[in-house]
């Protein structure tokens, strides 16, 4: 780590204020170019502690930048990991208020809930499949606090990987009823298809994203506990939305997840 604890705390406050006040900021590595990966995750952890100390519960984990389409869109080659809080959950088929967001984009994501704990190093797709309780379809609404989504990986990790809102819906299924690699996803905006992909777009298999998360946490002496809700990352590139837009995502064998931006 290169940053002092007080700098980590003040960057966490700076980024969380940007989220809560719906204002964009410039990427934090501009002022802290020597910041390393541990600093970035320490700032994210400090944001999580700030939320939890106000009574907001952490209700899941997220993998980001896990598909080639997303990596290409953002010009990166490494996945990132974050957390989601209770207030980020929005009802399926409901309205999402643009006034609470800066410049949201939507991502269609295959989500899972674990039945048993997963711990790296050495976690792999087989171990993940054995640990999945059920699979459900979701949409993540990302909203980078950085102006025009201009950031580098360390800045975006510190900003809790742009986590903002999420919607789950459709029909939960057991993993052994599905082939997560060939599971098709069609994303519609205002009734028109704007993106489509299959589960394999996510690191070859969505379970590989969860294995990467377990290995990331394992390197930090942590695990994915049993009963954890995890979003495996957008299968396609992220799609910008504005007030008045309706999003509907059709997941093969899992049903549909929809929402409207108002
Ligand atoms: O969930 C994601 O893939 C987002 C990761 C952060 C980068 C972004 O804001 O696009
Ligand atoms: Mg995402």
CATH number of the domain bearing residue 217: 3.90.850.10
How does pLDDT run across 95-151, given as a tens digit for each residue?
999 999 999 999 999 999 999 999 999 999 999 999 999 999 999 999 999 999 888
Residue 222 lies in a domain: yes
Q: Does pLDDT of 88 surpass 90?
A: yes
Q: Percent of the chain having pLDDT more than 90?
A: 94
C-beta separation of 143 from 99 below 8 A:
no
- Residue 214: which domain range? 57-261
Q: Report how far ligand 1's centroid is from the alpha carbon of 108 (Å).
A: 12
Residue 19 lies in a domain: no
Residue 36 lies in a domain: no
Task: Give the number of domains in the chain.
Answer: 1
* Residues within 5 A (CB) of ion ligand 2: 64, 107, 140, 234
Residue 200 lies in a domain: yes
Measured CA to CA, the distance from residue 171 to residue 6 in angstroms comes to 45
Phi and psi for 213 in degrees, rounded to 5? -65, -45
Phi and psi for 144 in degrees, rounded to 5? -55, 140
Residue 42 lies in a domain: no
Q: Does pLDDT of 74 surpass 90?
A: no
Residue 27 lies in a domain: no
Local confidence band at 80 (pLDDT 50, 70, 90 cut-offs): very high
Local confidence band at 72 (pLDDT 50, 70, 90 cut-offs): confident
Q: Which residues line ligand 1 (CB under 6 A)?
A: 62, 64-65, 70, 74, 80, 107, 140, 142, 144, 149, 156, 161-162, 233-234, 238
How does pLDDT run across 172-191, given as a tens digit for each residue?
999 999 999 999 999 999 99
Local confidence band at 69 (pLDDT 50, 70, 90 cut-offs): confident
Residue 255 lies in a domain: yes
* Nearest atom, ligand 1, residue 238 CA: 10
Residue 221 lies in a domain: yes
The β-bridge partners of 248 are: 188, 258
Query: 3-class SS at 207?
Result: helix
- In 3D, which of 10, 67, 45 has the Cα closest to residue 160? 45
């Amino acid at each position: 780590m290169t940053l002092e604890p007080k700098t980590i705390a003040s960057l966490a406050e700076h980024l969380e204020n940007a989220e809560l006040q719906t204002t964009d900021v410039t990427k934090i590595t501009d002022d802290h170019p020597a910041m390393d990966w541990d600093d970035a995750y320490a700032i994210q952890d400090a944001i999580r502690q700030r939320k939890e100390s106000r009574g907001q519960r952490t209700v899941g984990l997220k993998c980001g930048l896990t598909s080639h389409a997303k990596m290409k869109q953002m010009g990166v080659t490494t996945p990132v990991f974050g957390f989601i809080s209770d207030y980020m959950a929005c009802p399926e088929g409901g309205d999402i208020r643009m006034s609470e967001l800066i410049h949201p984009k939507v991502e269609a994501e295959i989500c899972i809930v674990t039945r048993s704990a997963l711990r790296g190093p050495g976690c792999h797709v087989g171990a993940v499949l054995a640990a999945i309780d059920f699979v459900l379809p979701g949409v993540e609404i990302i909203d980078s606090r950085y102006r025009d989504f201009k950031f580098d990986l360390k800045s975006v990790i510190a900003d809790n990987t742009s986590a903002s809102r999420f919607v789950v819906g459709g029909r939960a299924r057991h993993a052994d009823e599905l082939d997560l690699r060939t599971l098709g996803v069609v994303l519609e905006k205002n009734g028109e298809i704007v993106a489509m992909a299959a589960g394999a777009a996510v690191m070859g298999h969505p379970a590989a994203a969860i294995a990467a998360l377990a290995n990331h946490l394992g390197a930090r002496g942590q695990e994915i506990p049993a009963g954890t809700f995890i979003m495996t990352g957008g299968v396609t590139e992220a799609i910008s939305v504005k007030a008045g837009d309706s999003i509907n995502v059709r997941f093969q064998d899992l049903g549909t997840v929809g929402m409207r931006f108002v």
